[in-house]
Amino acid sequence: MKGNLNISSYRLPVLLVALSLLAACSSTRYVPEGKYLLNDVDIKVDHRSINKEELKGQVRQKENLKILGFFKFHLALYNLSSKKKDNNWFKRIGEAPVLYQDFQTVRSKEQLGIYLKNKGFYDGIITDTVIQHARKPKVNLVFNVKAGEPYRIRKYEYQIEDEKLVPLIMADTARQLVGINDIFDIDRLNEERNRLSALLRNHGYYRFSTDYISCLADSSLNTKQVDLTVVVADADQAGLSDSVVAHKKYVVRNYRVNPDYVPPQLAEANNRAMPDTIFEPPYTFIFREKLKYKPELFENLNRIKDSTEYSLRNVEKTYRSLNQLQQFKVVNLNFNVVDSLGNDSIGVLDCNFQLTPLSRQGFSVDVEGTNSSGNLGMAGNLNYQHRNLLRGAEIFNVTLKGAIERQQALVSESRLNFNTREFGLEGSLTLPKFFSPLDDRRLFSFQVPQTSFTLGYNYQRRPDYTRTITNFRFGYNWKSKAFRTHFLNLIDFNYVNLYEFNPEFINSIEDLYIKSSFTDHLIMAMNYTLVDNTQSVSRKDNYHYFKWSFEAAGNLLSAYAKLVGKQEAVEMDSITNRESHFYKIFNTRFAQYLKTDLEYRYGYTINKYNSIVGRAFAGVGLPYGNFDVLPFEKKYFTGGANGIRAWQVRTLGPGSYKAPENVYPNQSGDIKLEANLEYRYRLVGRVEGAFFLDAGNIWAINNKDNRPGALFQFDNFYKQVAIGTGTGLRFDFTYFIFRLDLGMKLRDPALPQGKRFIIGNYPITGDHLNLSFAIGYPF
């Protein structure tokens, strides 16, 4: 969606930036007499194996925050404040100058020295240089780190006092994190201690911990070499016995499951009834009044019993599966040692499932901003949820949705108003198991999968046409790692009915290939999506996001139609005036295509106020068989708030095609390539700024597309890449982020070859700018 540029709306931010630049000229305004502003801190290190970013983390004093790596915007705001007022607004939103302090430099050198030794550099030399500005009271601080040669491990051996542990530890040495000729890195050794401890706890040694593992290093060779001995002590922690006390393996005997657990002090305060029990060996179920869950639910989710002996890995699997149920606000698994039943080599444990439930039923109302294909709107949802519909932790959801959006529509209508209405009803049922005759235990080792059924109906009244969509999905989702999620829909059925076309809209679409996609159709698809996402909500850190999707539609229906000898329909398309031969199911033509997408994002956190995010996307859809065009909702488009932001949504491409003036903006294609780079920085309070660079386009894959320049060609597509840049603001309102981006075209593939770059060839006008409004980040 494109907004009207209103210069007055930009006066405040422009004024702030201008004043900030002026204030930056007097960055030492609040530096007291005899003190110095810490202008810059730098570290120089002479060894490539040392992480410079980790070194910077050891420095105790850092310069004021920077935007774009050089502009101290927050210090500039602080310098705009009045010296007469202590609680000035600019002081609150800005950052006071960081003053150079000698003792902090000494502390930094000490910390850098400790870090070097932990990384195996025991002969490192750290010097500091303070460079004073010639005319102003500010200094640059430089740490010069001469790490020297690291100590390396010459010999690596084990000293295992409990002989029973020897075969287990030695059989797993291929996964050892430290070895001969490696740098003697203390942090790496601690990771190895944790690995060994987890290995033993996964093989029955419930009471084993890293406290039993120590590392003895002999560096007396004077050759920068270390002989390392990893000591695995016996079980006599107190050291009261001269004999070796063997570590004990444990087995789990019984499970006590309390799905209505309340801490004893709260239970007494609420005068709760005395609990009843159901005993189904080896399970005991504890409940009050009525057991709200079927016993087999917990028996199926319990992965602890998958191994004969105690296994920490299986405990973690059980914990994850219980949390995945979305039934309990507190999940606690603990073990009691049954001393009376154990012996010298085998111990016995009882496991307690203490589960504090959430409310079983609830209603909620959501009001949200929407950004559908770049068009801004509002939506309201009335949601009902039942968390335990059939006493098996099944989650039943019903959502009633209403929405309005503002869309640019007809050739004769240049204004934007809320001209789109949408109403929908959707119900879903999620089962906490793999609903299939296959054995899910071997297929899903990390976490129990979920099976979902979804049925929905949606009515959309647009200014150019009306459509209804009936959909049904049956599929699974599961995790194979903490950051890897799989989605598999065996049935993804959509019936799309279009009617009440506006004649002006249809006549504005000159290309018959595009017109063909605006017909009733049925989609029976199977699709799979893999998502790798290491982004954490709780902390700001570097992350990557990878998504691969594959979808195949119409193949089963085509095989069925041919198998039963179904007669092809022959119709004259009222829109395209072409004769078509195709099969019908439920008296409707079905789509047939293959489609796949790849998307990769990488987020790099510079510091808590600055980050860079990059994104690359590639997608292709191949129609064939029963329907020689992709359905319009499966086509690719770009431009708008979530694409190449210098163009309005659906106004770019395909290829070098330029749509006639004053026609419906509906450029779409079968191939999409797009790349984005965005630098984000915190301004003031909840306001964040951004600079971005976008590039890409869409193309047609079918020779029947008669739009000039639309077809993808390997020897020409790179000449048709559009490039845009711009800046934006993000307003964080906690529950959602409102985004405003101003994009400017740099390279337009619709212009004549040789003159596709805007700057240097054309004066910058409003046609080269696009203002986008959206909810949430673009990626």
Point out the least confidently predicted range of 502-516, 648-662, 668-682: 502-516
Q: Which two tokens stand for residue 254?
A: 């019984």
Selected residue with higher pLDDT from 666 and 375? 666
What's phi and psi for 421, nearest 5 deg?
-120, 145
Point out the least confidently predicted range of 324-338, 364-378, 472-486, 557-571: 364-378
Point out the least confidently predicted range of 239-248, 252-261, 527-536, 687-696: 239-248
Give the pLDDT score at 9: 38
Give the pLDDT score at 666: 74
Q: pTM of the entire structure?
A: 0.84
Strand 249-258 versus strand 283-287 pairing type: parallel
Contact 345, 320 (CB under 8 A): no
Q: Residue by residue, what is the 3-state secondary structure of 109-124? A: HHHHHHHHHHCCCCCC
Work out the average pLDDT over 253-267.
84
Strand, helix or coil at 462?
coil
The number of beta carbons lying within 10 Å of the beta carbon of residue 427 is 14
Cα atoms in the Cβ-side hemisphere of radius 13 Å centred on 556: 12
Q: Is the pLDDT of residue 25 over 90?
A: no
Residue whose entry in the numeric block shows the structure tokens 């240089």: 129
Residue 735 contacts by C-beta under 8 Å, 6 or more apart in sequence? Answer: none
Work out the average pLDDT over 115-124.
93
Give the pLDDT score at 696: 96
Work out the average pLDDT over 533-538.
82
Q: Is the pLDDT of residue 19 over 70?
A: no
Give the pLDDT score at 129: 94
- At 315, the pLDDT band (50, 70, 90 cuts) reads very high
Give the pLDDT score at 463: 75
Give the pLDDT score at 752: 92
Residue 135 contacts by C-beta under 8 Å, 6 or more apart in sequence? Answer: none
Beta bridge partners of 547: 531, 599
Give the pLDDT score at 112: 95
What's phi and psi for 54, nearest 5 deg?
-65, -35
Give DSSP secondary structure letters for 623-677: EBTTBSS--GGGSB---STTS-TTS-TT-S-STT--PPTTS-----BSEEEEEEE
Point out the least confidently predicted range of 30-39, 469-478, 656-665: 656-665
Give the pLDDT score at 269: 54
The rounded percent of the chain whose pLDDT value lies above 70 is: 87
Peptide bond into 654 cis (omega under 30): yes
pLDDT tens for each residue of 549-585: 999 999 999 999 888 888 888 776 654 566 778 888 8
Q: Is the pLDDT of residue 729 over 60?
A: yes
Q: Is the pLDDT of residue 450 over 80?
A: yes
Work out the average pLDDT over 656-668.
79
Give the pLDDT score at 298: 94
Q: Is the pLDDT of residue 374 over 70?
A: no
Q: Is the pLDDT of residue 661 over 90?
A: no
- At 27, the pLDDT band (50, 70, 90 cuts) reads confident
- At 115, the pLDDT band (50, 70, 90 cuts) reads very high
Point out the least confidently predicted range of 221-235, 373-387, 474-488, 580-594: 373-387
Give Cα 407 to chain centroid, integer Å: 30
Q: Is the pLDDT of residue 606 over 80?
A: yes
- At 546, the pLDDT band (50, 70, 90 cuts) reads very high
pLDDT tens for each residue of 138-184: 999 999 999 999 999 999 999 999 999 999 999 999 999 999 999 99
pLDDT tens for each residue of 482-504: 899 999 999 999 999 888 877 77
- At 421, the pLDDT band (50, 70, 90 cuts) reads confident
Point out the least confidently predicted range of 196-205, 238-247, 611-620: 238-247
Closest to 83 measured CA to CA, from 92, 91, 93, 94: 91
Give the pLDDT score at 667: 86
Q: Is the pLDDT of residue 36 over 60?
A: yes
Q: Is the pLDDT of residue 413 over 50?
A: no
Give the pLDDT score at 345: 83
- At 18, the pLDDT band (50, 70, 90 cuts) reads low
Give the pLDDT score at 640: 87
Give the pLDDT score at 733: 83
> What gap in Å lies between CA 523 and CA 562, rounded to an integer?
18
Give the pLDDT score at 409: 46
Q: Which two tokens stand for residue 41?
A: 């801190």
> What gap in Å lies between CA 47 and CA 145, rounded to an integer?
9
Give the pLDDT score at 256: 96
**Alpha-carbon separation of residue 669 from 179, 657, 673 (angstroms):** 54, 11, 11
Burial (CB count <10 Å: 0-12, 13-18, 19+), residue 309: middle
Q: Is the pLDDT of residue 124 over 60?
A: yes
Which run of H or of E encompasses 104?
helix 102-118
Q: Is the pLDDT of residue 664 over 70?
A: no
Cα dihedral 422→425→429→430 (10° resolution): 20
Work out the average pLDDT over 772-776.
83
Give the pLDDT score at 67: 85
Contact 92, 103 (CB under 8 A): no
Work out the average pLDDT over 38-42.
92
Give the pLDDT score at 121: 94
Residue 736 contacts by C-beta under 8 Å, 6 or more apart in sequence? Answer: 368, 369, 775, 776
- At 371, the pLDDT band (50, 70, 90 cuts) reads low
How high does pLDDT run on average in the chain?
Answer: 86
Q: Is the pLDDT of residue 326 over 60?
A: yes
Work out the average pLDDT over 624-632.
88
Q: Which two tokens stand for residue 42?
A: 């730098």
Q: Is the pLDDT of residue 126 over 80?
A: yes
Q: Is the pLDDT of residue 389 over 50?
A: yes
